[in-house]
Amino acid sequence: MDIAGKVFIVTGGASGLGEGTARMLVANGAKVVIADMQADKGEAIVSELTKELGEGVAAFVKCDVSQEADGQAVVAKAVSMGKLMGLVNCAGIAPAEKNRGQKRRAQPGRVQQNHHRQPDRQLQHDSPGGRRHVQERGRSHR
Ligand SMILES: NC(=O)c1ccc[n+]([C@@H]2O[C@H](COP(=O)([O-])OP(=O)(O)OC[C@H]3O[C@@H](n4cnc5c(N)ncnc54)[C@H](O)[C@@H]3O)[C@@H](O)[C@H]2O)c1
């Protein structure tokens, strides 16, 4: 698939798998919208990618994937950047083994919420046209 110039949304793109995915997409010529709750990290990544590769390759939208209005704002931003080609859902809470030793807020309610399919469906429904790549992660937590 030729992804050059195409737009992808990456939820959870401010860290871990999502960050890696966003960087990989941009490195291969795509544009990304990083949709994450962590504005400081997400904006720092966008700023770095912009310095490296130029204006317009990446954008950050503060987003809680469980909130419909946030999802709509993310899709609106993506559509404003060009042809929306896909969505990669990496938002979630990583396993305890990975978090050990890291400073991280405990959000037990979020763990369940993030691993429901609802946010994925929400963003799918909101996405206009184009191919969508939706990955649901962390099912083993349920
Ligand atoms: N890292 C792995 O090897 C691995 C393997 C299998 C599954 N997973 C699962 O994949 C998901 C991501 O793992 P990771 O290692 O990248 O974790 P991570 O903590 O590095 O990144 C997760 C990102 O999701 C964001 N996020 C959390 N809740 C959100 C919400 N409601 N809305 C928007 N953004 C939200 C966080 O702010 C964070 O930036 C987790 O659910 C994890 O359990 C990870």
Question: Into how many domains does the chain fold?
Answer: 1
Q: List 62's β-bridge partners, or say none.
A: 36
Mean pLDDT of 52-76: 97
Q: What is the pLDDT of residue 114?
A: 45
**Residue 113 vs residue 93, higher pLDDT:** 93
Looking up residue 32, the CATH number of its domain turns out to be 3.40.50.720
Q: What pTM value is reported for the model?
A: 0.78
Q: What is the pLDDT of residue 108?
A: 46
Q: What is the pLDDT of residue 96?
A: 73
Q: Is the pLDDT of residue 113 over 60?
A: no
Distance of CA 13 from the midpoint of ligand 1 (Å): 9
Cβ < 6 Å from ligand 1: which residues? Answer: 11-12, 14-18, 36-38, 63-66, 90-95, 98, 110, 114, 137-138
Residue 81 lies in a domain: yes
What distances in angstroms separate CA 99 from CA 23, 102, 111, one per listed residue? 22, 5, 13
Residue 2 lies in a domain: no
Q: What is the pLDDT of residue 104?
A: 54
